[in-house]
Structure 1
C-alpha cells in the first residue's frame, strides 16, 4: 500500500503524488483519510497563483510546513480513521474517527494531541466543516454582535453561510447578506438572513438601507473580493465595525476613505481563525472554540452546503468547478478510497 498527496504544482495545476506509506513514531498515530474539505477561498488563491509565495503557509499549525511557493501540499480540513499507533500511544485510539488540520493526503502521522475526536452523533461529511465553522465562530467573537444591531455579511460561500447561520441565532434587528450567485442567496435566506441580495444588481449601501432602514452597525467582508471592502465601508453607519475575514492574497485594493469613513469613526479589523483577540484569550481557548463548533455542527442544517464530492484523483475537476462554475458549488469534498 502506498500513500497519496495532492500538490499545487503551478497556477491552475494540481497533481497527486504517491509515496511510501508513513509509519508512526512511538508518540504518533497513523490516520487513513476518509474525506477532506477544499477551502475555496485560500485554496482558490493557491490554485490561481495569487497567494504571496514568501508567506508561511500557516505559522500556527505544526501540521502545515513551508510557504506558499510551488510545489506545495496544502489543506486544513481532513477527517479520517486511526489505523495504527506508536508504541507509546494507547491502543484505544485505534479505529477512532478524527479531524486534523492537515493537507489533502490519504495517510498521515501526527501526535494524538494534534487531533480532534469526532463525536459519534456527527457524520464524517459534517465533521469536514470543523475548520470552516471554527472560522465563523471566530468572526462572531471578533465582531461581537449586540442585541438589536443591524448586521451585513458580504459573501455567501461556505464560511459566509456558516457565519450567517450563527448570526441568525442572535437577537439582531436585521441580517442582510450579499452574494452574486442565486443558489447561495437562497441558502442564505433558508439559514436565517432576512434578505440576501445580488451586489451586481443592488449597491451594498442601497441594499442595506432598503432592507434595514439604516446603514449597518456591523459588516463582515467575506467575499474574497478586495473591491467589496469599499462597499462594506459605505454600508456601515456611525461608530460601526467592519470585520475583514477575506484573505486577498496578492490582489491589491484601493479604498475610498474620503467620504463618511473619517467622520463616522468607523473601525476596520481583520479576523483570522489561527489566532484570537488578546482580550478574549483568557476565557476563549482553542479547546473552548472546538466545543462550540461541535455543538453547532449538531444544531445547524449543514448537509445542503455539501454540494459536490470528487475522488482525490479527480481533484483537478474539483478546482476547475470552483474556479469556472462557482454558481454551482458551495462546499466541495475530496474522498479517499482504499488503495
Structure 2
C-alpha cells in the first residue's frame, strides 16, 4: 500500500505523488485520512498563484511549517482514523477518529496533542476549521440585539457565519453573493434575504462582514455600513490589490474596519476565552447543525485537479468540495 500526497506545483497545477506509508515515531500516531476539505478561499489563492511565495504558510500550525513557494503541500481540514501508534502513545488512541489541521494526503504522522478527537461523522467534522473561523468573526463583531447585519460572500465560511448569526435576535440579516445556489442555501440557513451584489439597496447596516475574498466587495461593505458601524474583514486577498473609495462618506462616518482571523484569539477576548473554549463552541454547534447541503462534491484525491478547476471555474455548481481517499 502506498500513501498519496497532493502537491501544488505551480499556478493552476497540482499533482498527486505516491509515497511510502510512514511509520510513527515513539511519540507519534499515524492517521489514515477519510476526507479532507478544500478551502475555496485560501486554497484557490494558492492554486492560482496569488500568494507571496515568501510568506509563511501558517506559523501556528505545525503541519504547515514552510512558505507558499512551489512545490508545496497545503490544506488544513483532514478527518481520519488513527491506524498506528508509537511505543510511548496510549493505546486508547488506536482507531480513534480525529480531526487535524493537515495538508491533503492519505496518511500522515502527528503528535497526539495536535489532533482533535471527534465522534462527528467525517462529513460533518470536515467543517470544523471553517466553523471555527465563523465563530471568530462573530465574536469579533459582537452583534447586539436588534442589529442590522449584512454578510458579503456566501462560500462555506460565509454560509457558516450566516448560520451562526441566524441564532441571534437581529433586526435583519441580509447576505450578498452572485451565485443563485449559494443565495438559496443562505436563506435556508436563516438569512432574511439574499441578494446579488447590485441589488442590496440602502441597508444602513450596523455590522457588515466581508467574507467574499473579492477585493471590490470591501468597498461595497464600507458603503453599506451606517454611521459608526463596523466592517469585519475576514477575507484574505493574497496578492490581489484592493482599491477603496474613502471619500466624504467614509471620512465623516466613524466607520471602523477591523480584520478578523482565526489563528489567534483577539486580545479583547483573552481574559475569558482561549482556543479550547472557542473549539468547544464549534463542536457543540456542529453536533446540532446539519450541514449536508453545503457538501456538494466528493472527489477522489487522484482527480484533485478536477476539484480545483471546479471551484475556480464553476463556483455556482460547488460550495464545499472534499477529497476522498478510497
Q: What TM-score do you get using the length of structure 2 for normalisation?
A: 0.99
- Cα shift at 1:301: 2.3
Say whether residues 1:245 and 2:234 are aligned partners: yes
Structure 2 partner of 1:20:
20
Say whether residues 1:312 and 2:287 are aligned partners: no
Structure 2 partner of 1:133:
131
- Cα shift at 1:259: 2.7
Structure 1 partner of 2:245:
256
Measure the CA separation in 2 of the matches of 1:21 and 1:127: 24
Structure 1 partner of 2:82:
82
Aligned length: 326
Structure 2 partner of 1:124:
122
Structure 1 partner of 2:56:
56
For 2:287, which of 298, 302, 325 is the aligned residue? 298
Q: Could you list the runs of 5+ residues in structure 1 that have no partner in the other structure? A: none
Deviation track 1:136-181 (CA, whole Å, cap 9, x = no partner) reads: 0000111111111000000000100000000000010000000000
Structure 1 partner of 2:257:
268
Say whether residues 1:94 and 2:83 are aligned partners: no
Q: How does 1:107-256 map to 2 (within 5 A)?
A: 107-119=107-119, 122-199=120-197, 201-202=198-199, 204=200, 206=201, 209=202, 214-256=203-245
Structure 2 partner of 1:69:
69
Report the 3-state secondary structure (helix = DSSP H, G, I; strand = E; otherwise coil) of the residue aligned with 1:261: helix
- Cα shift at 1:282: 2.6
Structure 1 partner of 2:44:
44
Structure 2 partner of 1:278:
267
Report the 3-state secondary structure (helix = DSSP H, G, I; strand = E; otherwise coil) of the residue aligned with 2:249: coil
- Cα shift at 1:276: 1.5
Measure the CA separation in 2 of the matches of 1:279 and 1:138: 12
Measure the CA separation in 2 of the matches of 1:92 and 1:222: 40
Deviation track 1:182-203 (CA, whole Å, cap 9, x = no partner) reads: 000000001100000011x42x
Deviates more, 1:259-268 or 1:95-104: 259-268
Report the 3-state secondary structure (helix = DSSP H, G, I; strand = E; otherwise coil) of the residue aligned with 1:132: helix
Measure the CA separation in 2 of the matches of 1:252 and 1:143: 25
- Cα shift at 1:23: 1.2
Task: Find runs of 4+ consecutive structure 1 residues off by over 6 angstroms.
Answer: none
Report the 3-state secondary structure (helix = DSSP H, G, I; strand = E; otherwise coil) of the residue aligned with 1:260: helix
Q: Could you list the runs of 5+ residues in structure 2 that have no partner in the other structure? A: none
Structure 1 partner of 2:315:
326
Measure the CA separation in 2 of the matches of 1:32 and 1:301: 25
Measure the CA separation in 2 of the matches of 1:48 and 1:63: 22
Report the 3-state secondary structure (helix = DSSP H, G, I; strand = E; otherwise coil) of the residue aligned with 1:227: helix
Measure the CA separation in 1 of the matches of 2:51 and 2:289: 32
Report the 3-state secondary structure (helix = DSSP H, G, I; strand = E; otherwise coil) of the residue aligned with 1:105: coil
